[in-house]
Amino acid sequence: MLTFLMTRTADRRARFYRVEVDYNLFGEYSVVREWGRKGRGGQHLLVWFSNLRDACRAAEAWRKRAMRRGYVTEGTSV
């Protein structure tokens, strides 16, 4: 699981973005993305893939996109 955290300087609202790759009982892989304000319920999106390679590629693409938007890995300094 990858978790990213961004703090906006203008309004001081901490936001989170999470990407997770899961395996289900039907032999499929899913990538779960969740985002929103920290401390509140966020939005989420679930996408299924037939193999692990495609799921990991998609998760990595979403991780890179979040990093370009200013998210940093939780626990690192901004």
pLDDT tens-digit readout, 39-59: 888 899 999 999 999 999 999
Q: Is 78 exposed, middle or buried (0-12, 13-18, 19+ CB in 10 A)?
A: exposed
Q: Give the Cα separation of 2 and 17 in Å (integer).
A: 9
Q: Give the Cα separation of 53 and 50 in Å (integer).
A: 9
Q: What is the pLDDT of residues 54-77, one digit of tens each?
A: 999 999 999 888 888 888 776 554
